[in-house]
Each structure stands twice: as C-alpha cells, then as structure tokens.
Amino acid sequence: MNYSTVSHSLKNNPMVPLDFKSLHTIPDSHEWNKSIVVDDPNTIEPIPIIDLTDPNAVSLIKQACEKWGLMLIINHGVPMNIVKELELQTYELFSLPSERKACAHRSEGSLFGYGVHRVAPFFPKLLWSEGFTMLGSPLEHAAKLWPHQPDQQTNFCTVMEEYQKEMKKLSGKMMELMLESLGLDSDDVEWFKPKMGIDRAQCMLQLNSYPTCPDPDRAMGLAPHTDSSILTILHQSSSGGLQIHEDGIGWIPVNAVPGSLVVNVGDFMDILSNGKYKSLYHRAVVNNTHHRISVAFFYVPPSDVKNEPLKKLIDDDNPPIYSPVTWAEYLQKKSYLDVKPKQGT
C-alpha cells in the first residue's frame, strides 16, 4: 500500500480531539443541526439479523444487501471473549488522560495512531468523537500510551492483533457469501482465491470513542458518509448510536444486539456488483449518559488492482456503470470532490 498517497487522499488532519470530559456545553465549532430519527422505528421493517449457520444464509444476505446495504450477523464464529476483551481494551485506551493520548497522535503523512475521525475534514463542523487507527500490531503507539506499563502494552497489542486475525477471516467468509449471493464465486475476483489461501485484501482497524455529551441533540458523533471499503464489520457497545439513512424515511437506529456484528456494504462492493449492492449512508449519534465505543474493520481491495464491475454481471441490458479504478485513485477522487453526502439530513 502506498501510505503517503492514501494518507493524502484521506485528507490527513493533524488536529487533536478536544478534551471532551472537561466540556459542559457544546462549542460553536461542534454544533450541528441534525434531522430527527424516524419517529417510530416500529413502523418500519426490522433490520435483518442473519444466522451464518442458516442454510438460507446466502439468499438472506442477498435480500439484506439489496434492501438495506447492511445486516446484523450472529453465529459468525468470532469468540465473544475476544470481542469482550476488545471492548475493555478500547475503553482502557480512550479513558486515558488527553495529554497521554496525544502522545500517540497520528503524525502528518501517517494513517495510524490517535486523532479525529477520517471523515472530519469533509465537514464544516467538528465531531464529538475521537479515534485510533491501526494495521497489524499497534506496539509503537502502545509504548507511547503506556510507557511505564509493559504488561498493559502487551495486553493491548495481543487483543488487537487477535481481533484483526478473526476479522480478516470473517471478512473473507462474508466476501465469499456475498459473491455467491450475486451468482458469482471467488474465480471471478483475481486477487481473492480463498481455496488457494490467497486473499490480497488490505485491512484496517478503527477504534471509535463517542464520549458522553451535555447536549446530544446539537452534536454529531460521526457525520453521514459511506465507507470506501468492500465491506465493513462493526462492533458497537450496548448503548448503540449507529444510524442508517433510508430514502423517504430518514435516519433509522441500528440497535446493538448481544452477540451480533454489523456488516455493511462499502463503495467497492457497490462497484464490483455494478450497483446491485449499494453502499449506504450512515452516521453515529451521541448521548448524555453513556460513553459509547465502536470498532470498525475495513476490508478493502489491494491498492494496485483496478476495480470494475465483475464481468458476469455485465450484459447488453446491464452495461457497466462504473469505470475501472484503484482504491487509491478512488480515495483521491472522493477527496477531490469533497463530497458531503446527506449533510444536514
């Protein structure tokens, strides 16, 4: 991966998040005008919860991707003790004093470390959140976060590395199931041959923190956006906060279901499927009672591969709606357009 190009494309922002614990009002810099959530979520069809051991899982995934671009999965094979440890270590990190977290601040030109969320520079108002991005071992940053606690450094790194291994395995499984739901298989994707042990996808782990907010109706945890991934797997703490946008309805909460993980369609699955599976707009809201965390695992294509609609999905009646593009090229284009999807809605 060409990190310098990708980092520039992601509009790396050296800003350090606020010390949210010290704030009792919303600064003007962080004040948003949000639209309300759908009045009565019970009036809409529930977001699908799919058991991956269900014999009908493939057809259920197809329905979920076509209608929602998102699903909750259970019996996914990820040990819940690892998820629990992940959550504990994430809280441990974000509970550190601001000056200690700043020691692991994402440096100019780097993708990894502590800082504001990657979408923050695309919006005129700042976000009520903080993040930490990693690829593989976060040892370099852990040493800065806990300089005199080698055992804590080891515990943090062990949990994060183990979770990434589980996520890479699960992402590959979801990729296979989603391809199958499109009537395809791994032979249709040159860099993805799981039966041969080949999966060249790149992956990143993003820890997100949404501190309690004195006036949550005037703040935004994570602004509306789509993910520049093939798929994203999200764990969110029990307080919830994720919302998805449904045309004609508005913002719909995605409640946390114990033992489940959220899987959403990213921009590159939209491209590969020639628009059959649309990436969805989503955001995160905050509350005044619970410090919410979430952990997103981004499964993205190899940086050197031109991605385009898969050939078996193209015919005279279904011409390609996307041009070939690499991940880095796409990020640069997305950055250049400075797209602010669904802003203010």
User: What is the domain-level CATH number for residue 261?
Assistant: 2.60.120.330
Q: How many structural domains are present in the chain?
A: 1
The answer to whether 292 is a known catalytic residue is yes
Query: pLDDT per position in the chain (345 positions), as tens?
Result: 444 444 444 445 556 788 898 888 999 999 998 765 665 656 578 899 999 999 999 999 999 999 999 999 999 999 999 999 999 999 999 999 999 999 999 887 778 999 988 777 778 899 999 999 999 999 999 999 999 999 999 999 999 999 999 999 999 999 999 999 999 988 899 999 988 888 899 999 999 999 999 999 999 999 999 999 999 999 999 888 999 998 888 899 999 999 999 999 999 999 999 999 999 999 999 999 999 999 999 999 998 899 999 999 999 999 999 999 999 899 888 765 544 333 333
249-281 core/surface letters (b: 16 or more CB in 10 A; e: else):
eebbebbbbeebbbbbbbbbbbbbbbebbbbbb
**How far apart are the C-alpha atoms of 97 and 22, rounded to whole Å?**
11
* 115, 101 Cβ separation under 8 angstroms: no
Assess if residue 20 is contained within a domain: no
Do the domain assignments include residue 1? no
Find the domain containing 106 and state its range: 31-337
Residue 169 and residue 157: Cα distance in Å, rounded?
18
Q: Is residue 82 part of a domain?
A: yes
- Using the structure block, give the residue that is written with the tokens 């809605």: 345
Which is the catalytic residue, given 106, 118, 283, 292? 292
In a domain, residue 24? The reply is no
